[in-house]
Structure 1
Amino acid sequence: MTTHLVTGAGSGIGAVLADRLQGRGDHLVLLARTTARADELAERYPGSQVVVADLADASALERISGLPEEIDSLHHVAGVVELGCVAEQGSEVLSHHLAVNLVAPAILTRRCLPALRRTRGTVVFVNSSAGLSANADWSAYAASKFGLRGFADALRAEEVEHGVRVTTIFPSRTATPMQEKVHEQEGRTYDASRWIAPSTVVDTILHVLDLPDDASIPEVTVRPVLPRAT
């Protein structure tokens, strides 16, 4: 049975991805920050393996036990965002972004590499358009996402000899609870119809997973059709 490890399955892109993968009859390994969220995921995805680990806690990620010996794909979907200008943002905000958006994927990837090598599997980093260009008030988030892109590039170069494929997906604004929170921080009205549907990003991920063995997609950018409202 094909096995996928997914972070961020509680909502947004991660939830749609978990739905689709389970619908294909695949086995899911899901990370949950709390036992309460773990219970929710276990009920929603019967038969899945749910692991409790806070992505902000590097030591907890190092202590995870019971990971499968074979993993066909690893999906880094979870993330945090908190807008603010450099002059006013405390160091704890930057540290939290780096811990969840960069350090956690790095640790999980290292922990899963032996299992991914056995299957010649795929690592998917759901990054952001903020990992390609940074705007005012996005310094902490963009810094973590720029770092994640660099980590993925290095991983891709290192793991090609083991047959592990690495893809970074850069979605622009997507209609998720995180995007609704961003609009609140920006003081703007949230209109989900203007943004990419989570299912569209998931379609892109599944296309990456279903590629023949003779090809890989290192990076792909997904943008909404409608221009940003002023």
Structure 2
Amino acid sequence: MTMKFPFQIIDLTHPISPDSPSWDLDCGFTHSNFIDYEDCTSEIKFRVQQIHSPLGIGTHMDAPAHCIPGAASITDLDLHRNYLLTQSVLINVSHQTDENYQITKQDILDFEARYGRLKKNVFVLFYTGWEKHWPNPEKYRNNLVFPSISAHVAQLLLERNIAGIGIDTLSPDTADSGYPVHQLLLQAGKYIIENVANAHSLPPIGAWTLTLPWKIINATESPVQLIGLVR
């Protein structure tokens, strides 16, 4: 008897390399061989590798401790209690082609008028279309100019008591914004996923997302495997 998994699995995660776009000009990621096959003295030869990397790289999670001293770190976030596995919605604003576009409260209200009020503990994913620039790190970074989210949106999402947000840019905040989205959401114990891939593959409603960070004690950020589950 063949068992069929009841969901289509969509990988929402970018691969990581030394060329990955990042907030800084150099992403700081290196990947090298610690021991190579020819160096291995055992009968079976192994290649042993190591990495050096900042934790806020690629598709990654910001935990509350990222900007709130004493708040929850990555390993404090529980799969169930913090809704790392939860229903998700996709709010598509890719028709807004201005690189300076800031997602507004009206965008959320328009979505709710069509699909219903955001449910408690849902993961809200924003698709701006900026992901298309990922293969070009310089353009993706764009001197830290990219679509972002307004503080009014963050406040509305907190009123809806969402679990967290994701976006297909380097950050929901731009460099000159004062980081209000980070402050509001992380202070409220929510989580943020940045550099989401393939968000356009999800439906507006009805999907689930599973966020799996590296479980590094005291980490304030972590690369994640972000999975979409669609019936």
TM-score between both structures, scaled by the size of structure 2: 0.32
Larger RCO, structure (CA 8 Å, separation 6 or more): 2
TM-score between both structures, scaled by the size of structure 1: 0.32
Higher strand fraction (1 or 2) = 2
